[in-house]
Structure 1
Amino acid sequence: MTIDDKPPGAIRTFAEEDYRYGTGPLRIRIDRVLAGTPLQHDGDLWYEVEGVEVSDQGQVVGPRRATVRASRLPMIRRP
């Protein structure tokens, strides 16, 4: 997994090819990664995430659950 410098609760943007299922980029504040249930798809590891989708204008769209390519998620730090 990659590490980035965004603080917890930051809005993250995923390209269409890096999440399932939708059209166009996904902008989401990830609240939870369901790390116990990874999926294999197209030779990559994917995780379900839950959060709040945000429009490109910064408006809240609503709750969203998506499957995101593991390599595009920030590293999960445990206390």
Structure 2
Amino acid sequence: MTIDDRPAGTIWTFAEEDYRYGIGPLRLRIERVMSTPVQQDGDLWYEVEGVEVSDQGRVVGPRRATVRASRLPTMRRGA
């Protein structure tokens, strides 16, 4: 499944070890994924922008984070 196949407003949850920097899981409605990954600690990471949502569903606010590439949803290209 790709981001394009998910309903608008899908919230992705990332474990603490799969994003930089924060404590605990990150719940994020992804709005933008930067196109160039960064190599860190032997893995690829992407900077993402979106809206952070609490575990109770409350909007926390805008958030930028660096997320492990293998944990990001696949995106359709050229569509």
Q: What is the CA–CA distance in structure 2 between the aligned matches of 1:46 and 1:24, rounded to whole Å?
A: 18
Q: TM-score, structure 2 length as denominator?
A: 0.88
Q: CA RMSD in A?
A: 1.4
CA apart distance, 1:7: 3.1
Letter in 2 for 1:74: P
Query: Would the aligned equivalents of 1:44 and 1:69 in 2 still touch at CA under 8 Å?
Result: yes
Unaligned runs of 5+ in 1: none
Q: What is the CA–CA distance in structure 2 between the aligned matches of 1:65 and 1:50, rounded to whole Å?
A: 5
Q: What is the CA–CA distance in structure 1 between the aligned matches of 2:39 and 2:8, rounded to whole Å?
A: 26
CA apart distance, 1:42: 1.0
Residue-pair matches, total: 76
CA apart distance, 1:8: 4.4
Is 1:25 aligned to residue 25 of structure 2?
A: yes
- 1:1-79 maps to which residues of 2 (within 5 A)? 3=1, 6-35=6-35, 37-78=36-77, 79=79
Q: Which has the larger share of strand?
A: 1
Q: Once structures 1 and 2 are overlaid, which stretch shifts more, 3-12 or 24-33? A: 3-12
Identity of aligned residues (%): 78
Query: Would the aligned equivalents of 1:9 and 1:31 in 2 still touch at CA under 8 Å?
Result: no
Letter in 2 for 1:42: D
